[in-house]
Amino acid sequence: MPSWLEGKPFAITFAVLFGIVLLRAQATYWLGRGVTTGILHTRLAPKLESPKTARAISALNRWGPPLVTVSFLTIGFQTVVNAAAGLIRMPWIRYTVAMLIGCIAWALIYATVGFAAVEAGIALAAHSPWALVGVIVLMVVVVAAVVIARRRRRAAADETVVSEQVQFP
């Protein structure tokens, strides 16, 4: 945690971190929108207005908000996603709702365990980079196992529902 937030009440720490991430995310989004607006005034504009690009942008607008929210749980990737949301001109309200959920999660994580986890990772890397790689691989394996198990349970439940619906006299 930044030294100037050490010892501050949780609410203040959360509010400061939330404000920082909100401003950064909105600035990145609007920077992306500005780039697109600028490109629309160049000879590249027809490329952005092609049917293929329109379909891609439509798909991203539909499926992008969950990606915006989840991106706040990553390091580095959130900037790319926020800029991309601006570049494709995702509707501001749709983007902002997804972004607010992500900002809350980010601020909550960093106000509680986030900075400690980052500091522990740096200390582990300084002691043994291979141990850090091992911890990261282990975390990825655990997350993958949980996701796969949930998908299998969901698929089994869906099959049960379908088999119950399809009954022949």
pLDDT digits (tens, 9 = 90+) for 111-160: 887 667 777 788 888 888 898 788 888 888 888 888 898 888 888 877 77
Asked if the model's pLDDT at residue 28 lies above 60, the reply is yes
pLDDT digits (tens, 9 = 90+) for 90-107: 999 999 999 999 999 999
Residue 164: per-residue pLDDT: 61
Residue 30: per-residue pLDDT: 96
Residue 24: per-residue pLDDT: 96
Which alpha helices (H) appear in 40-114, and where do they start and end?
Answer: 45-48, 51-71, 77-87, 92-109
**Amino acid (one-letter) located at 114:** G
**Amino acid (one-letter) located at 160:** T
CA-closest candidate to residue 112, choices 16, 1, 29: 1
Are 85 and 29 spatial neighbours (Cβ–Cβ below 8 Å)? yes
Residue 168: per-residue pLDDT: 47
pLDDT digits (tens, 9 = 90+) for 56-92: 777 777 788 898 999 998 877 888 889 889 988 899 9
CA dihedral sign of residues 130, 2, 80, 73: positive
